[in-house]
Structures are given as structure tokens and as C-alpha cells.
Amino acid sequence: MSNKIVSSIPNSEKIDRIVQAILQTPTPENSQPWKIVVRENVLEVFHSYERAKLATFPDDLSVLGIGMIAETIELAGSTEGLEARFTFLLEERSDEHPWLRAELNTVDNLSPAPLAQALFLRHSDRRYYAGGSVDDPVFQEVRQEAAAIQGANLYFTEKYPDEYLQLLKNADQIALKWPEFCEDMTRWVRFTDKEIEKTRDGMSWRSFLRKNPNWLYYLRSRLWWLATRLGWFPPSLQKLESYIFDDSSEPSPSSYDDGAGIGCITTLSASVEDLVASGRLVLRLWLLLNLRGYGFQPITNLPAIIYPQRLGTFNLPNSLNDLVANGYETLQQVFGFSEPELPIFCFRTGRAMGEYPAIARTLRRTDHVCYR
């Protein structure tokens, strides 16, 4: 039975709270490639190609992002008694036209969705985890979430075969050795509090620390700051990095044993419907796990390479191609998905190590919201 629409113009504070929730939606490297236009009860979401430019993933990753935004609007709307009607405008993907239109109407009988409680709690947690197991009851809920969404699947591994760890490291190598990818990856790291406050986007260097900040880690962040500004990642720097910081989260660590496991979300195809479904699933799992005290860190280096490689849209320089030869097959073996599924989003998860430090939290811009 559908809900009855009782009024078409909800009050502006309700809409505003939904906009705040949209701003909190995660984006790759906190690049926030969206502009939100509010006209009474209609929200339009525009894309900014320049902010989203990712060398390996044309804009399918942004379509996944639209799925996350749609899910956010639906969840946040449920707490305001507002039902969303979506129009996805994803055929001609340009910055001039909106990618998503949501019309929000007041309905009776709408109960707040439980996951909405986590919209402002959710965050990326790159610290060590305090254990956890995919046999914990929360993973029962996680699997139910995945089963309820058509177009995307979820797989877990608790084991990290050497081929897989090697593939992760090779993906790091590609990211560091291919200038376009490297630029995408390092463009959004913010190294000083002043820079963070000024831009209100990107990621604080502190969020990459698996341990408490100390002088060694600060030194590391400065080294990386210098390297990214100069675009200079010689093997000697990478060796130094792994020698001093062998437990750091970047480049990939040699073990993930601190948590419950690694999840892999696959999309059944590169169609708009399946990508949107995948985005919805990513967000729902992230919210659910955070709500149950589990940390969540996307690890998308590998899907960022394997997805376009599989679609034949990845123009990887030949010299780097060998590093990920058989990458799809390796992921298939590790996670157990089958053709033609495409891995689009991987994450590590485990019991969070206490409260997430406020200082490591990412900020959001507000200058890309426009009320008409």
C-alpha cells in the first residue's frame, strides 16, 4: 500500500536537514563533486567533472555516487516524513544538466528508517581495528541488506592469499607510477589544519594514521606533502616509507588481520541501474556497520583498476599493464564472484578502536548548495 501524500510543500527546515545529510555523503577523497540546487520541494544534483576527474574511472564512479545520494535522500527524508520521487538523468552526463532530481512530498504513515540514525555518524576509519569476525550477528544483517538490493552483490574474505596482497601492492605501484592516477590520488590530501579549514574538502593527513600521531608520523606526512607537491615518488622514497612505516595503511599494509575481513561489492553490469544499486548498497552497509560499532574503510585502488580494465576502457601504459595481468581472475578467486560481475568497491571492516577522533574527521563545503 503506498503512502498518502498530504501536502506537496514541506517546510524549508526539513529540506535543509536533508541537504545537510547529502553533504555528509562520502565521495572519493572527499572531493565533493556535486552541486545541489534547491527549489521549494525539489532537489537537483549537478555533477562537477573537474572535481571528480579520476584517471581510471571515467564517470561510472560518480553514477555510483548518485546511488549513495539517492539512498541518503530517501533515508533522511524518512525521518522528516518526506517521501522522495527520483528522476535519474544519467544518459547525457554533463555538468550543465542535473544528474538527479528528487521531489519530496509530505506523506502520512512514513516511519523513520533505522539506518538514518547513522547518516551523521558515518565516517571512514583507517585505524587499526579491534578484531571482529564475519560470523558476528551484524554480518547477518549485512547479508540481508545485500540480498534486498538487485543489481549488486556482496562478497567477503577473511583470508588474504599472497597473490591478493601482491595485487594490492601492485595497484599501489600503478597509482604511484602513472602520473594521472597519482595526481588524482594525492590531489585531495590536506597536510595542514589551515589548508583543511580553508578548503573544507579532501582528507586530513591525520585520517591516514593507524597509530596516534607522533613526530615520526608527522615527519612522514611532511615527506608525503613534499613528494605530492613535487610529483616525485622514487623507489627509494617508497622503500623508506615501507621501512619506517611498515604498519601504515598507505601504501597497502602487508596484513589485514586486525579486522573482520574485506568486503567486495560487485555490480552486475556497467548499466546506470546497476551502478545506482551498487551505490545504494555501499552506503547502506557503511551506515549499518558504523551503527553497530564497526569501522569501515574503503580500499578502492584495486577496483579502480580492475573495473575499467575489464570493460576495456582503461588506457594503462603498457609498462604497467603486467602489474595487474589476471587481476580480475585473482579477485574472482579471493571473493568468489562470477562473470560478468564487475568489482566496483572494496572495503575493510572490523570492530572500531573506540571513538573516532574529531580532529581526523573530514569537513564539508557549503558553497555548492544553491537555494532558488
Ligand X SMILES: Cc1cc2nc3c(=O)[nH]c(=O)nc-3n(C[C@H](O)[C@H](O)[C@H](O)COP(=O)(O)O)c2cc1C
**Which residues bind to ligand X, rule: CB under 6 A?**
26-30, 61, 123-124, 126, 203, 297-301, 362
CB of 83 to ligand X, least distance (A): 25
Nearer to ligand X, 104 or 260 (CB): 260
CB of 89 to ligand X, least distance (A): 20
Nearer to ligand X, 28 or 263 (CB): 28
Q: Which three cell numbers stand for residue 195?
A: 589548508
CB of 299 to ligand X, least distance (A): 5
Angle at 237 between CA 236 and CA 243, to 5 degrees: 90
Where do the DSSP E strands lie in the chain?
5-7, 34-39, 42-47, 82-88, 100-107, 152-157, 189-190, 203-204, 261-267, 294-298, 342-351, 369-371
CB of 108 to ligand X, least distance (A): 33
Nearer to ligand X, 205 or 337 (CB): 205
Nearer to ligand X, 72 or 362 (CB): 362
Question: Residues 6 or more apart from 165 whose CB is under 8 A from it?
Answer: 252, 254, 255
Nearer to ligand X, 38 or 175 (CB): 175
Beta-bridge mates of residue 190? 204
Nearer to ligand X, 134 or 287 (CB): 287
**Residue 360 DSSP code:** G
- How far is 244 from 237, CA to CA, in rounded Å? 11
Q: 204, 288 in Cβ contact below 8 A?
A: no
Q: Which three cell numbers stand for residue 64?
A: 555510483
- What is the DSSP track for 330-343? HHHHHH---TT-EE
CB of 21 to ligand X, least distance (A): 12
CB of 254 to ligand X, least distance (A): 17
On the 0-12 / 13-18 / 19+ scale of CB atoms within 10 A, 42 is middle
